[in-house]
Structure 1
Amino acid sequence: MVSKNLFVAKRTLNRLCQSSKYVCVVRKNSVWTQDNIIKSPFKSVEIPNCTLYDYVWQNLDRWPERTLAVCATTGRGYTYEQGFKLSNTFAANLRKKFKIRDGDVVAVMLPNIPDFPLVTMGIMEAGGTVTTINPIYTAHEVQRQLLLSEAKLVITLPETVKIIREALAIAKLNVPIIVVNTNGESIPEGTVLFNELSEDLHVDKSCLKEVRRGPNDICFLPYSSGTTGLPKGVELSMRNLIVNCEQVNDPLIRCHSETTATHQDRALVVLPLFHIFAATVLMFHKMSLGIKLVTLTKFQPDTFFEAMEKYKTNLLFVAPPLMLLMGSHPASTERSLQYLEVLVNGAAPLASSDVDRLFERAKRKIDFRQGYGLTETSPTVTLTPVGYTKNFSGTGPPIPNTDLRIVDSNFNNLGPNETGEILIRGPQVMRGYRNNPQATSEVFTSDGWFRSGDLGIVDEDGILVVADRLKELIKVKGFQVPPAELEAVLREHPSVEDAAVIGVPHSVNGESPKAFAVLKKGCQSPAEELCAFVNERVAPYKRIQHIVFLDSIPKSQSGKILRRVLKEQYS
């Protein structure tokens, strides 16, 4: 134990010593231009001219026998060499047996399992585009994304095949289903087993030579609500994702150590891989570095802390609800946190007191970072540097190749310590929203800056603090809940004339959806009935518990819901 603690202390000291280099960079090169544009203080990176598939596997020969991914509860997993070979074989079968062609969309509806990276890389090697679906979505939610993405194939678990088939029936689609069997049981009739496709020794891989995909092609299509409205397909190119991986490799901000003959970082994958945060930061990026991914299929506090200790987790990426849990749960102890070296929080900022509570649990200080990003930015935009402890509410300066502006309502640039909307420019910014030019035009300025919909403040050193959201999204446990989606479901009820939804503070979840409904003349539906109607059609984190009945929904002259008025009166 003594030698292990000494090792961790030395590694942490090395990280802290590097923080002074960041201060020097800022002092020598002001991050603020005369026009009040915030430039990155870090050296620009070169963007590799390759596909994401080649980027991820580029150093495979350095760590073929290292573990790529392992299930935290069962121990089932793959080495990097196995992952490469199986995904390659799977890719060939996608082209041969399912006729997947360049640009075709394949939907992946899986929890965090060791097979997730293999499935994803196989789709890309076959020339396909990956769209990820939350595995707890209802058929109502799934069918919308299948229609919008025009998916040609769905990959899921045996237990969620029923949901997929219900979704296909609603959407009137006939799409094949591949299942990943994690427990050896029989698979649903009419589906195809992933293992049979990935372990096929006889498939002709020459078909992969037909793939013609380049860095500027779209390869990942997550769905986000953007600044408002229903979910939209975010078109991310291979170049977007590759550069975001390279941007966080800068020595002053990187969160990992090099994989060598004697060392391999261990990252516990508790954030969902269907979300851009984990997909890029944990899957694509960490695979390119030979890091071990320990996947947690279902989050349970005891299982989480047991995995932290059992797999000697030294890298952890979290959202605020998990961070708060780590500062209060009985299983969060010096022992369960003993190997943790780097902890990165995203999705929403934390207060210094929240960080201090964790340090008290660990009985030592940990290299704590905060970052800021969006699905539309692949996702990372800012990240606090190594050893930065000046302000735990700060999310750091812009990462390499990234510029920021803080603007007022007329898009005039504001200066240090002034609050305004965060605008972003960089090679990690999305192409646009799929088949939605209007929504795309609304989030880009005429000169190409991406509007985040978030309010922020940047200090003299270029450190961004996210102050609030202009956007209407509700954040529940770090997940996006678009009010427009819940409103649309409410209006489907035969008794509802009109509806509105806002986010209200919640002690555990951050925010919670609260609904308002106007009933049609002569109709009487109790709140419990409307809640049940909505909740059986949406994922658990989107569910509403409270409905207020109104005579009318407050709206502007243009017909937009005045959520601000509802928040002032009922929040």
Structure 2
Amino acid sequence: MTSRCVVSLNVVFRTLCQSTKYTNSSVRRKSLWTQDRVLTSPHKNINIPNCTLNEFVWENLDKWPERTVAVCAITGRGYTYEQAFYLSNAFAANLRTKFKIVDGDVVSVMLPNIPDYPLVAMGILEAGAVISSINPIYTAHEVHRQLLVSNAKVVVTLPEISNIVKEAFKLAKIDIPIIVIKTNGDPAPEGTVLFNELSEDVHVDTSCLKKVRRSNNDVCFLPYSSGTTGLPKGVELSHRNIVANCIQISEPAIKQHNETTKTHQDVVMAVLPFFHSYGATVTMFHRMVVGGKIVTLAKLQPEQFLQSLEKYKANILHIAPPLGLLMTSHPAASPKIYQYLEVILNGAAPFAGSDANRLLSKIQRKIDFRQGYGLTETSPVVSLPIIGSEHYSSVGNPMPSTEVRIVDSNLKNLGPNETGELLVRGPQVMRGYKNNPEANRETFTEDGWFRTGDMAVVDDNGDITIADRIKELIKVKGFQVPPAELEGVLRDHPSVLDVAVIGVPHPTNGEAPKAFVVLKNGQNADTKDICNFVNERVASYKRLNDIVFLDSIPKSLSGKILRKDLKAKYC
């Protein structure tokens, strides 16, 4: 499907519907529920090629060699697909020859979103190694722990954070090579190797890459789970897992991209971190598969982000709730800034339907806004609404070749409109947690279903709505109170910008909800006013009477509220 960057709403949706030939009724010709109360996908099963992720990414290279694969939003520095292919191959060859990387070795990548990231990632895979992503704002203590558990052989980072890596080496009592990517004219730190010298090495013999022997069942990506219920765990995602997820999100009824042609190339603004599976698979790997342009932002600076949307004519945007709230409330936000946007996909955490409506009212035209559901352990996408869905609180139906169960505390299957834990089975589900058999036993059922730890409800049409994390549910007099529900109500208050809700001990009720509120600039509201606003809208056991006003809500870079940090500091 070819689409211009600026088109009217009616043209966008008419084109989408004509090209996909899908409507709500055609997708749901029959019930998605089996007799055993298993929810199936409305989409036909996918065929997964027997290839590695890097082979899959480069499969259509000849269709768009001169197109830009990645460009820095601030400096304009970037690469074409052809350049990326040859530079990543040279880097891969040097990893094997100069650093003695062999099949299955782990190479840690501690980088923000820069245009070199896709080249580094592809080079690691082409060398037969495994990408292990590290948050670039981690402390030395956090880095050293991840280096040890992943057994990394090389680290790729920036010169300005190489000292953190060196401190981590001391803590871990290891000494491995550091490769740095220079983004300015500063000299490379002592004891490091320059990435561009490895990738631009015209003398390296790339024939060594013929010795790489990797199957699609081998691990290719080793991100670490957020650790909201304990220390982060290494998530083993295979080539097959990520290839399958790329194919799943290309399903015509749910895809959020246009075909790359002689006259059109999608532009996606990459502000969500590549070290997270959402940014890695949906924004980076999948966009390379379909020939899109990735505009990278190393750091979220609101004015630069908004200006870049307009400057680069970004028509695809992947967000997490904090970014959506920023787009709604920032003084510089305007319909002009958002004039090229055609698709916004929210993920990482739930975005209330009321928040979605506020964002769309700021854009002042009805673009294709959807939110999907997934986890690091599922590569990440589990479900996604069909194109043009206006059920903003829903995360849609299961992806192709994906099954879902809603179960009670005894793992007994529940049916439509019953709330329980969501279980998943599909080709995108991870192999398991690295060297953690205890966590694997807790996470997988005996018959191979993955336990998400999320509470969900599914309607008769198979639309999934996420309620909350099981471990984050607040238990009031035996009733379960989802924090996300109260957060959605709080955001409806005209003075409230952002919120978080946690459960705190209560002498008679077991637990009680406690809210943390960020007010909009220039707005005044007191605890009584906000509590009354919420309590008029919820059942008695969900009522609030405790609010703390903050300047900001602590969140991970993927947009998840750090409830444990709030509990540690305020409870």
- TM above 0.5, yes or no, is yes
**Matching residue's letter, 2:392:** F
> What SS does the aligned partner of 2:454 have?
strand
Separation (CA, whole Å) in 1 of partners of 2:222 and 2:70: 23
Q: TM-score, normalised by structure 1?
A: 0.83
TM-fit CA distance, 1:467:
0.3
**Matching residue's letter, 2:246:** C
Shift of the 37–503 alpha-carbon distance from structure 1 to 2, 3 Å rule, reads same
Given that 1:228 and 1:472 are in contact with CA atoms closer than 8 Å, whether structure 2 keeps it comes out as no
> What SS does the aligned partner of 1:130 have?
strand
Separation (CA, whole Å) in 1 of partners of 2:185 and 2:230: 41
Q: After superposition, where does 1:241-320 map in structure 2 within 5 Å? A: 241-320=242-321
TM-fit CA distance, 1:503:
11
Given that 2:9 and 2:366 are in contact with CA atoms closer than 8 Å, whether structure 1 keeps it comes out as no
Q: TM-score, normalised by structure 2?
A: 0.83
Shift of the 436–444 alpha-carbon distance from structure 1 to 2, 3 Å rule, reads same
Separation (CA, whole Å) in 1 of partners of 2:427 and 2:85: 28
Give the corresponding residue for 1:415. 415
Q: Number of matched residues?
A: 496
Give the corresponding residue for 1:21. 22
Separation (CA, whole Å) in 2 of partners of 1:443 and 1:146: 24
- Structure 2 unpaired stretches of 5+: 474-482, 488-501, 503-511, 520-559
Give the corresponding residue for 1:228. 229
TM-fit CA distance, 1:4:
6.4
Shift of the 225–51 alpha-carbon distance from structure 1 to 2, 3 Å rule, reads same
Shift of the 305–171 alpha-carbon distance from structure 1 to 2, 3 Å rule, reads same
Give the corresponding residue for 1:325. 326
**Matching residue's letter, 1:374:** L
Separation (CA, whole Å) in 2 of partners of 1:446 and 1:47: 25
TM-fit CA distance, 1:24:
2.5
Tell me the alpha carbon deviations over residues 135-182 of structure 1, each in whole angstroms, 9 at most, x when there is no partner: 000001000000000000000000001100000000101111000001
Give the corresponding residue for 2:140. 139
**Matching residue's letter, 1:146:** L
1:158 aligns with 2:159: yes
Tell me the alpha carbon deviations over residues 36-69 of structure 1, each in whole angstroms, 9 at most, x when there is no partner: 1000000111001111111001000000000000
Separation (CA, whole Å) in 1 of partners of 2:128 and 2:98: 14
Q: After superposition, where does 1:390-409 map in structure 2 within 5 Å? A: 391-409=391-409
TM-fit CA distance, 1:330:
1.5
Given that 1:425 and 1:449 are in contact with CA atoms closer than 8 Å, whether structure 2 keeps it comes out as yes
TM-fit CA distance, 1:332:
1.3
Give the corresponding residue for 1:470. 470
Tell me the alpha carbon deviations over residues 75-105 of structure 1, each in whole angstroms, 9 at most, x when there is no partner: 0000000000000000000000000000000
TM-fit CA distance, 1:229:
1.7
Given that 1:227 and 1:472 are in contact with CA atoms closer than 8 Å, whether structure 2 keeps it comes out as no
TM-fit CA distance, 1:358:
1.4
Separation (CA, whole Å) in 1 of partners of 2:350 and 2:18: 25
> What SS does the aligned partner of 1:405 have?
strand
**Matching residue's letter, 1:276:** S
Give the corresponding residue for 2:494. none
Given that 1:397 and 1:464 are in contact with CA atoms closer than 8 Å, whether structure 2 keeps it comes out as yes
Separation (CA, whole Å) in 1 of partners of 2:9 and 2:186: 42
Give the corresponding residue for 1:457. 457
TM-fit CA distance, 1:359:
1.6
Separation (CA, whole Å) in 2 of partners of 1:358 and 1:171: 46
**Matching residue's letter, 1:464:** I
Shift of the 459–227 alpha-carbon distance from structure 1 to 2, 3 Å rule, reads farther
Q: After superposition, where does 1:424-443 map in structure 2 within 5 Å? A: 424-443=424-443
1:47 aligns with 2:48: yes
Separation (CA, whole Å) in 2 of partners of 1:396 and 1:217: 30
TM-fit CA distance, 1:327:
1.2
1:446 aligns with 2:446: yes
1:347 aligns with 2:348: yes
Shift of the 183–463 alpha-carbon distance from structure 1 to 2, 3 Å rule, reads same
Separation (CA, whole Å) in 2 of partners of 1:544 and 1:465: 26
> What SS does the aligned partner of 2:398 have?
coil
> What SS does the aligned partner of 2:24 have?
helix
Give the corresponding residue for 1:517. none
- Structure 1 unpaired stretches of 5+: 477-482, 484-501, 510-539, 550-569
Separation (CA, whole Å) in 2 of partners of 1:321 and 1:4: 25
TM-fit CA distance, 1:548:
6.7
Separation (CA, whole Å) in 2 of partners of 1:82 and 1:322: 32
Given that 1:349 and 1:394 are in contact with CA atoms closer than 8 Å, whether structure 2 keeps it comes out as no
Given that 1:19 and 1:387 are in contact with CA atoms closer than 8 Å, whether structure 2 keeps it comes out as no
Separation (CA, whole Å) in 1 of partners of 2:239 and 2:569: 46
> Sequence identity, in percent?
60
Tell me the alpha carbon deviations over residues 392-441 of structure 1, each in whole angstroms, 9 at most, x when there is no partner: 11000001000000000011111111100000000100000001111111
Separation (CA, whole Å) in 2 of partners of 1:130 and 1:44: 28
Q: After alignment, is 21-30 or 67-76 more displaced?
A: 21-30
Shift of the 548–133 alpha-carbon distance from structure 1 to 2, 3 Å rule, reads closer
Separation (CA, whole Å) in 2 of partners of 1:545 and 1:470: 18
> What SS does the aligned partner of 2:412 have?
coil
Given that 1:8 and 1:339 are in contact with CA atoms closer than 8 Å, whether structure 2 keeps it comes out as no
